[in-house]
Amino acid sequence: MDRLKREITGSFFTPQIWVELSQKYLADVLGENWQDEYYIWDCAAGTGNLLTGLTNKNRIWASTLDRQDVDVMRDRILNGANLLESHVFQFDFLNDGFEKLPMELQEIVNNPEKRKKLVIYINPPYAEVATSRTRTGTGINKNKIEQTKIHNKYSSIVGIAMKELFAQFLVRIYAEINGCVLAEFSTLKALSGPNFLKFRKFFQTKLEKCFIIPANTFDNVKGFFPIGFKIWNTSKTMIFTKIKVNVYDKHRNLVGNKNFYSWDNKKLINHWIIETRVSNQNHENIAFLGCYGNDFLNQNIIRIQRTKEEFKEPRGTYITQGNLTKACIYYIFFTVFFCA
């Protein structure tokens, strides 16, 4: 698949080291025999990469958007991939109704008791509606993303988070397959992104375990930010506030643990710096401090320029003698603290 097509459909493959590690975490949370006790459905399967290494093909389903990818999976079965041809099918998870699923899977999805034994195991597409500030995504997905049935159905409740395809997957799974185990790779926006405040109010479920890995170990992903593998138990209702996650480097060495918090209803660093504008009165402008999001995903775009006009989309505050110390603290916080 060429790069443009991949960006449209958000197809970035999971490296094999993270496939293996995620399956180890699933065994830790669900028990050694999880593959014989649970059903597994990858509903953003692509060519079935994430399902490599799984053992019980009778309990695995793989669906994806593109017919070509389904054909590749079927070819792989002919070449020994451990999947059943009748369990591999085309399904648009953000538009199709569950009546299109194979009957056996439909019976699991529609049965609240059986759903508790279903693991939805995915690396969902990453594409988002691009704004002029968006550093990932191309903007070409806007119509497709904002016109899915799931977007139309839930965006008034879940808000701006629905501009991201992965969030649409999470929302449908939570709302319509509630009770299942959801094991997914995605950024940490669902945990602490300010744009995901309404999402977190809606998506009240227990996060059992999480590890994080560098995003740039994924095919075609640039930038220094973490991707998390998260195992949610949607049969348990819980508002996310905090989790301790395991941190791995690009070679799969465990390099430590880190706490993540939602920070909901707390005052954020951008509120704090913007308030310093009041101390700027009667002082000459020294420079302009560009302030964007509140988290480490923004560490690369925080910068200081001589004037506001040097920013394509200026957001932030002038630096003057009135707020110089606080502006320095803000700048160091993003450029040193988050990079450490």
Ligand X SMILES: C[S@@+](CC[C@H](N)C(=O)[O-])C[C@H]1O[C@@H](n2cnc3c(N)ncnc32)[C@H](O)[C@@H]1O
Q: Which residues bind ligand X (CB under 6 A)?
A: 9-14, 42-46, 49-50, 64-66, 69, 92-94, 123-125
d(CA 244, CA 118): 25
SS (H, E, C) 54-119: CCCHHHEEEEECCHHHHHHHHHHHHCCCCCCHHHEEECCCCCCCHHHCCHHHHHHHCCHHHHCCEE
Give me the least distance between CB of 70 and ligand X, in Å please. Answer: 10
Q: Where are any strands of DSSP class E within the chain?
A: 39-42, 60-64, 88-90, 118-122, 181-186, 206-214, 226-233, 242-248, 254-261, 287-290, 303-305, 316-319
Q: How far apart are CA 67 and CA 29, in angstroms?
A: 33
Neighbours of 3 (CB within 10 A): 10
Which two three-digit tokens encode residue 271?
């509120």
Q: Is 123 or 299 the residue whose CB approaches ligand X more closely?
A: 123
Those residues with Cβ within 8 angstroms of residue 34's Cβ, 6 or more apart along the chain or in another chain: 26, 27, 119
Of 144 and 303, nearer to ligand X (C-beta) is 144
Instruction: CB nearer to ligand X: give 59 or 172.
Output: 172
Least distance to ligand X from the beta carbon of 259, Å? 27
CB of 293 to ligand X, least distance (A): 23
In the bound state, the residue with its beta carbon closest to ligand X is 46
CB of 140 to ligand X, least distance (A): 14
Considering beta carbons, is residue 7 or 317 the nearer one to ligand X?
7
What letter does residue 311 receive in the DSSP assignment? S
**Closest alpha carbon to 268 in 203, 333, 205, 332:** 333
Q: Cβ of residue 128: shortest distance to ligand X, in angstroms?
A: 13
Q: Nearest 5°: CA angle at 169, between 4 and 144? A: 40
In the complex with ligand X, the residue whose CB is nearer, 69 or 128, is 69
Q: Which residues contact 115 (CB under 8 A, 6 or more apart)?
A: 108, 109, 177, 178, 179, 180
**Shortest Å, Cβ 292 to ligand X:** 25
92 vs 104 by CB, closer to ligand X = 92
Residue with smaller CB distance to ligand X, 168 or 262: 168
Q: Is 160 helix (H, G, I), strand (E, B) or coil?
A: helix
Q: Characterize the bridge pairing of strands 60-64 and 118-122.
A: unpaired
Cα first-last separation, the chain = 36
- Residue 94 CB, shortest distance to ligand X, in Å, is 4
Q: By C-beta, is 1 or 84 nearer to ligand X?
A: 1
* Nearer to ligand X (CB atom), residue 43 or residue 302: 43
256 contact partners, CB below 8 Å, separation of at least 6? 247
In whole angstroms, how close is the CB of 227 to ligand X at the nearest point? 10
Smallest distance from ligand X to CB 324, Å: 44
